Amino acid sequence: MNQTSGSKSFEISKHLVFEAYLRVKANKGAAGVDGESIEQFEADLKGNLYKLWNRMSSGCYFPPPVKMVEIDKPGGRGVRVLGVPTVADRIAQTVVAMVLEPLVEPVFHPDSYGYRPRRSALDAIAACRERCWKTDWVIDMDIRGFFDNLDHDLVLKAVGHHTDQRWVLLYVERWLKAALQRRDGSLQARDRGSPQGSAVSPVLSNLFMHYAFDTWMAREYPGVRFERYCDDVVVHCRNEVQAHQVRQAIGGRLAECGGLELHPDKTRIVYCSVSRTRRGALCG
């Protein structure tokens, strides 16, 4: 499974497709709109992987709709919409993710912790606690409907900064536009957003935030430290005045990046008092 074909539009390694299958298998996951489980896909593994490779290499792979699953948020705070791709589509997405990850990982900000190898929420918490000893105020922020409102053009622009492989951009665009299928079978078209639950969303969301937030913060506020786990961010400020100034600037920056906005109920400015933060309450 390690050849490419000179007769294909795009050179995609069969070995890469097989490695993507192994990753999807290890992650398990539910069936998509076709109802096919990983075990059913494996009933004709060689044939299914070849068919997927052939379509991707020819430029004629079109993702099926993504199964919409609604999960209740804790405390009755509404629902979180997840997207469940088919097994074959998860493999195809993983192929692209495996190509993109080594290209973007070296340039990602050291304080970006979400969905990255050898990094975790615990690392973000540890960094947050350490910095709360040095600065007294933080902006605890969350972006409203982040995954549902990602600007497709900006995502593709970010991807294009790191690869000139046309097939990567082609399939990222197709996944961004793939419809969601509701429980009743009806389809919901999408012109923005990238569903949580897809194999390629983590790297795309981090890449988007790398340009929308991380590099912007480093340029505009080089002395202000932060920890970011996807769209959940803690920003450390010297005093309350700076915290309000930075919060306002971040709100303006997000508005410029496809009309994103801070969640009014989940974004707050907090004083790191000894009785709370330095005992590990904040960021814990």
Give a three-class secondary structure readout of 149-181: HCCHHHHHHHHHCCCCCHHHHHHHHHHHHCCEE
Q: What percent of the chain has pLDDT over 70?
A: 92
The average pLDDT across 85-96 equals: 98
Tell me, what's the pLDDT at 76? 66
First to last CA, the chain: 46
- More confident position, 275 or 167: 167
- Tell the burial category of 66 from Cβ atoms under 10 Å away from its Cβ (0-12, 13-18, 19+): buried
Tell me, what's the pLDDT at 136? 92
Please, what's the largest Cα pairwise distance for the chain? 67
Q: What percent of the chain has pLDDT over 90?
A: 85
pLDDT of residue 275 exceeding 70, the answer is: no
Domains contained in the chain, CATH given: 14-271 (3.90.1850.10)
Q: Which residues pair with 81 in a beta bridge?
A: 70
**Tokens read off for 75:** 């405390």
pLDDT of residue 88 exceeding 50, the answer is: yes
CA pair distance 104, 142, nearest whole angstrom: 23
- SS3 percent helix, strand, coil of the chain, rounded to 5, is 45, 15, 40
The average pLDDT across 132-152 equals: 94
* pLDDT band at 74; cut points 50, 70, 90: confident
pTM attached to this predicted model: 0.90
Within 8 A by CB and 6+ apart from 91, the residues are 17, 20, 21, 24, 49, 52
pLDDT of residue 13 exceeding 70, the answer is: yes
* pLDDT band at 97; cut points 50, 70, 90: very high
The average pLDDT across 221-242 equals: 97
* pLDDT band at 34; cut points 50, 70, 90: very high
The average pLDDT across 183-200 equals: 93
